[in-house]
Structure 1
Amino acid sequence: MSKKIWRHFHKKDLQERWQVLEEAGILSPESYQALTGGQGLSLEMADQMIENVITTYQIPMGLSLNLTVNDKAYIVPMVTEEPSVVAASNFAGQIVNAGSGFKAQVKSRLMTGQVCLTGPADPDLQNHFEDWVSAHEGDILDWARSAYPAILKYGGGPRAVRSAYYPYKDRGFYLIYLDVDTQEAMGANMMNTMLEAVKLKSCQALNQSLASDASPVFDPLMAILSNHADQCLVEVSCEIPARKLSRPGLAGSLVAQRIAYASDLAQVDPYRAATHNKGIMNGIDAVVVATGNDWRAIEAGAHSYAAKDGAYRGLATWDYDAQAETLRGQLCLPLAVGTVGGSIGIHPQAKLSQDLLGHLPAQELMQVIAAIGLAQNLAALRALVSEGIQSGHMALHARSVAIQVGAEGEEVAQLAAALADSSTINQETARELLAELRQEKNKY
């Protein structure tokens, strides 16, 4: 597909953008109809998804058009209400393409769940538990397979077992962790079915192994998928010529060095790290939502991984090579996403997103989402260490304020421009300027 068809896409109106998508031939007839006919999630379908439905809540979907990952170009749908997110991903993607694009690899793709048994906080019992789990790993894997055999024919299934023990207050928590290849699914229901079976069988077998006539020592507390998905990791990196980062009055090499310093700050200061990571998740969440995946699970996994060594740190890092005049970025995080299951096959917009992306397998989707996250981080840091974040944000904020006070059609852009030129961007000023615009228009 030629990149020329996407030229000046952001300057086109909605009908012209739809025409580009139709000419590109990347949408199914159903998706194109859902796009142009406003046929999103129906109230009837929504009423089947959650309780007490009264309406649906719509959020804009835009496209990131400049993303190249492993030498392949992607059209990436993003669902977000934050004005700067889609623009930032497009801008950063363009900068990264001046180098060699993003390079990504999935380091592992296993979902992890846990079975928790409780019992006395006893070192001897701990040793017995750990020895038993090690000796019965094969049995535990068999119990899990038997609970959900359907995944086996797709090449998936349980892969590994390990144990942990945590004494707390007057009890001990005895944990069995199960790692599962869920193939194309995120796999929450699959995992929980397996884990429930392992919980009951392992607790029974452990109590029998103690050969005690007294009441059972172990009690089955819970079995549940963990969102700390540290066995489902993707890594993405990029190299950017420093000259591509220049700003008015700032050489690209200086901007690159300052980006590296800002990255270092996020490794030592949790206040900065939280905002550093929030910016990354601005992009990641937008694609996760668009593809029908569970953004809450992704958020939980990302932030827990950011604290994996006991301190909360920035997920993305940047280093400046002064000799090569190159800025290098890297991001590694868990992304437990799927391409089947959940709302993915139900929500019309999720199906539309799959068409736009080209119906990617789960591992490739992980790579694309991670690249969007690193692009988002680059755009934010470049603005922060040069002109500051507000100049770009306020221009977009002006459009939001214009809409809030009732500007319509061409008035939105006109009022936003007038607000941007004013010293104050608020609703009171916007109403005054809108009245002036309309008064001037009525003269003719």
Structure 2
Amino acid sequence: MKTNQYPGFHKLSVQERAAEAAEFSGLTEEELGCLTNPGALSLETANHVIENVIGTYQLPIGVAMNFLINSKEYIIPMVVEEASVVAAASNAAKMAREAGGFTTSYTGNIMIAQVQCIGVANPFFARQTILHHKQEILDIANAKDPVLVKITGGAKDLEVRILDSQIGPMVVTHLLVDTGDAMGANAVNTMAEAVAPTIEQLTGGTVKLRILSNLADHRLARATAKFTKEAVGGEDVVDGVVAAYAFAAADPYRASTSNKGIMNGIDPVIVATGNDWRGIEAGVHSYCARSGRYTSLTRWEKDANGDLTGSVELPTPVGLVGGATKIHPAAQACVKLLGVTTAAELAQVIAAVGLAQNFAALRALATDGIQKGHMKLHARNLATVAGATEGQLDEVVAKMISAQNISVEYAKEILSSL
């Protein structure tokens, strides 16, 4: 496969799709086996990842096609159990491609380490005192990780905030650390521990928590895309998507579901590459509420030509160094399949996938409703549960959809009549 535009890709067998994806990304036979063979994660390796291991658990790995990001073609590995996610992302990417695909950017690999100090009699004076000693504090932090300093520069700057709380004012110091191609939790936590005694000495207070923040608002990925009105089905559809977005922007109940749809695309890529999807989720949802009101992560507008334009900006604390990315053989194979070489590139791909997934959901809501495409795939799942063989699936699904009765019980009725 020379291009990720592959009509009929979904009609290939599992083995054929895997072979085509391997050719596109240059996977070796051994690397491909980590994705296609059960048991790629050995019990021995799993036993070193978490505690009390009793076995392993598998989820499907699909690939989203058609993505053009900053003029580069990608096939996107997605580990997910929800039907229609991979197909929706692929279809959205195909529509975006007509106007040039996705354009992305990244603010850098800066993580925040928080040092909480309480019991400070004069917090505003203490804040200034900490800033007066900024270089001393940065030097103490960087002494803990000279390798990181050599590669990326390590701790770069300080922020100091004064927070009112139910136990009185807190002086909270933020260490801003460039973690390079690592997510960086261990590095920033170690630095926070190291500077704590100095901050206590400077403020006269007591340091309590010393830990990273998942609200990585210095580590933002951004993506934009244009969808022509012809590609999406007309200007009425454009207006429908904008109206659906306006609902999410105004109402936290709608925003919660809309943003979940965005994460339907993002989380599967995070899981596939061995990154921390819980950290991403926490950061994204808190970022959506940073104004004091929870709202939509994406923005959708109609331009002067009547075309649809979308944008997204989100915290992306991801890495390619350390963690499961370097332990799990399937994660390593997925990273190679994706073709990213830096954490910055991975972050930008994630932003583009999230924007594509949101567009697909909003377009479905603005036209046929979310159930039409989803229920066809859901029907296949239920037919399989009912016992349909590969040769029976299409007929059973067609009858279920025709009768608008998508249930295991009805699938069993159909099978008994065949």
TM-score (norm 2): 0.96
> Residue 288 of structure 1: which of 270, 275, 279 is its match?
270
Aligned to 2:210, what secondary structure does the other structure show?
Answer: strand
Does structure 2 retain, via aligned residues, the 8 Å contact 1:133–1:162?
no
Residue matched to 1:212 = none
Residue matched to 2:217 = 230
Q: Any gaps of 5 or more consecutive residues in structure 2?
A: none
Amino acid in structure 2 at the alignment position of 1:280:
I
Does structure 1 retain, via aligned residues, the 8 Å contact 2:25–2:337?
no
Structure 1 CA distance for aligned equivalents of residues 146 and 415 of structure 2: 64
Aligned to 2:68, what secondary structure does the other structure show?
Answer: strand
Does structure 1 retain, via aligned residues, the 8 Å contact 2:227–2:309?
yes
Offset of residue 281 of structure 1: 0.6
Change in CA separation of 1:21 and 1:100 when aligned onto 2, cut-off 3 Å: closer
Change in CA separation of 1:22 and 1:169 when aligned onto 2, cut-off 3 Å: closer
Residue matched to 2:49 = 49
Amino acid in structure 2 at the alignment position of 1:262:
A
Q: Any gaps of 5 or more consecutive residues in structure 1?
A: 208-217, 247-251, 438-444
Residue matched to 1:116 = 116
> Residue 239 of structure 1: which of 223, 226, 229 is its match?
226
Is 1:398 the counterpart of 2:379 in the alignment?
A: yes
Structure 1 CA distance for aligned equivalents of residues 241 and 36 of structure 2: 41
Does structure 1 retain, via aligned residues, the 8 Å contact 2:239–2:302?
yes
Amino acid in structure 2 at the alignment position of 1:12:
L
Offset of residue 261 of structure 1: 1.4
Structure 2 CA distance for aligned equivalents of residues 287 and 221 of structure 1: 35
- Structure 1 window deviating more from structure 2 (1-10 vs 277-286): it is 1-10
Change in CA separation of 1:435 and 1:156 when aligned onto 2, cut-off 3 Å: farther
Residue matched to 1:3 = 3
Rg larger in structure: 1
Is 1:15 the counterpart of 2:6 in the alignment?
A: no
Structure 2 CA distance for aligned equivalents of residues 22 and 76 of structure 1: 12
Aligned pairs (5 A) from 1:247-258: 252-258=234-240
Amino acid in structure 2 at the alignment position of 1:431:
K
CA offsets per residue over residues 112-137 of structure 1, 9 Å max, x none?
Answer: 110001105x4xx1122111111011
Does structure 2 retain, via aligned residues, the 8 Å contact 1:33–1:39?
no
Structure 2 CA distance for aligned equivalents of residues 15 and 432 of structure 1: 32
Does structure 1 retain, via aligned residues, the 8 Å contact 2:383–2:396?
yes
Aligned to 2:108, what secondary structure does the other structure show?
Answer: strand
Change in CA separation of 1:95 and 1:229 when aligned onto 2, cut-off 3 Å: same
> Residue 161 of structure 1: which of 141, 158, 163 is its match?
158
Structure 2 CA distance for aligned equivalents of residues 52 and 414 of structure 1: 45
> Residue 395 of structure 2: which of 414, 417, 427 is its match?
414
Structure 2 CA distance for aligned equivalents of residues 171 and 340 of structure 1: 40
Residue matched to 1:214 = none
Structure 2 CA distance for aligned equivalents of residues 4 and 294 of structure 1: 27
Structure 1 CA distance for aligned equivalents of residues 21 and 155 of structure 2: 41
Does structure 2 retain, via aligned residues, the 8 Å contact 1:26–1:358?
no
CA offsets per residue over residues 79-132 of structure 1, 9 Å max, x none?
Answer: 100001000000000000011110001133311110001105x4xx11221111
Structure 2 CA distance for aligned equivalents of residues 383 and 279 of structure 1: 12
Does structure 1 retain, via aligned residues, the 8 Å contact 2:228–2:308?
yes
Aligned to 2:290, what secondary structure does the other structure show?
Answer: coil
Residue matched to 2:366 = 385
Residue matched to 1:192 = 189
Offset of residue 366 of structure 1: 0.8
Amino acid in structure 1 at the alignment position of 2:137:
I
Residue matched to 1:77 = 77
> Residue 174 of structure 1: which of 171, 174, 191 is its match?
171
Structure 2 CA distance for aligned equivalents of residues 413 and 348 of structure 1: 35
Structure 1 CA distance for aligned equivalents of residues 123 and 53 of structure 2: 48
Is 1:269 the counterpart of 2:251 in the alignment?
A: yes
Structure 1 CA distance for aligned equivalents of residues 269 and 35 of structure 2: 17
Amino acid in structure 1 at the alignment position of 2:289:
A
Amino acid in structure 2 at the alignment position of 1:223:
R
* RMSD between superposed Cα atoms in Å: 1.6
Is 1:133 the counterpart of 2:120 in the alignment?
A: no
Structure 2 CA distance for aligned equivalents of residues 318 and 172 of structure 1: 40
Offset of residue 25 of structure 1: 5.6
TM-score (norm 1): 0.91
Residue matched to 1:427 = 408
Structure 2 CA distance for aligned equivalents of residues 335 and 300 of structure 1: 11
Structure 1 CA distance for aligned equivalents of residues 4 and 88 of structure 2: 20
Structure 2 CA distance for aligned equivalents of residues 227 and 4 of structure 1: 33
Amino acid in structure 1 at the alignment position of 2:240:
R
> Residue 297 of structure 1: which of 240, 257, 279 is its match?
279
